[in-house]
Amino acid sequence: MRVVCAGDEFISGDLLARAVEVELERVGLAGKFDVLDTPWPTAPFGEVDGVREAAGDPQRLAELVRGADALVTHLAPITADVLAAGRGSLRVVGVTRGGPVNVDVPAATAAGVPVVHLPGRNLGAVAEFCVGTMICAMRGLPAAAAQLSAGQWDGGGFRYDRTGLELRAATVGLVGLGAIGLRVAELLRAFGSRVLAADPYADPAAAQRAGVRLVDLPELLSECDVVSLHARLTGETRHIVDAAALAGMRPGAVLVNTARGELVDTRALDAALASGHLRAAVLDVFDPEPPAPDDPLPRRPEVLATPHLAGASRQVAEESAARIAGEVARVLAGEPPEHCVNPDVLAGPPT
């Protein structure tokens, strides 16, 4: 089997190749590997020939994929031209992401190529990031650390009116209760937090097991000290946190967004912070991304802003490579994968 492994500075092509080699041996197959890497995240990703959040040269990838049995990547641009170059040989595309937006899925489906992926691949890293930054934001730590770094000792953080809540005393609302939301709920339960969730598609049994009470969005906003966003971006959820939603939040609450920047009306959020209605915000995602140089939110002292790092951990890189290797090996061995975005192609062409 010839496998093209297109990596980057987070999940390298060599890491992918080693993982696929192990899994191919497990199913009795041997592999030959072509490896290339892009300079992401040193160089940003973007839109490439109709796919999103992609990095790399599709022409170079198309050259390598000719005659290949499998293509495995993190965020290389799997465009219609790349898939066309693999026509007749390419049997599977593996993407180490929850949502393979860097793949032209309709083109893959038309070519009869299954696209396997990894839902929830970074849920542990994101959940820990959420809980850790909730603590930082509620206690005012980012602004205090910045002042001390600038040579200013601010002892006023011990004034009662400036102190924040501990998680054990906080009600936390999760907008979206998928894999990441459930993991956040489990961690919060260990702290003693009361946890609410708003998600019309949530599994009530899973929510009950995690100790979460399902409510509608207005109730969640009005009752919670912290609101953390975990919803997918759809037409329904774009700007789900708008001026009206922010006005409905409890005064002094904290907003955490590690999902998608487009979920939040950023101008309305800036106004809510400027007025003092919200205590703080944690923003790991932006609209657009990276944020514009004149975007006021990352510069606000009450905002903990990070450059889309919630899912960055060594475990994510290593485990993602191993998991996608298993999915690719299963397809090449004629076995069904666990997660495929276009499962109809697995049945083959209609007779």
User: How many CB atoms neighbour CB 160 within 10 A?
Assistant: 5
Is 250 tagged catalytic?
A: no
Is 308 tagged catalytic?
A: yes
Given 9, 128, 219, 289, the catalytic residue: 289
Given 97, 194, 230, 308, the catalytic residue: 308
Is 279 tagged catalytic?
A: no
Backbone torsion region of residue 50, taken as left when φ is above 0, otherwise alpha when ψ lies between -120 and 50, otherwise beta: left
Q: By C-alpha distance, which of 325, 324, 323 is closest to 23?
A: 325
Given 260, 279, 300, 339, the catalytic residue: 260
Point out the residues that are catalytic. Answer: 260, 289, 308
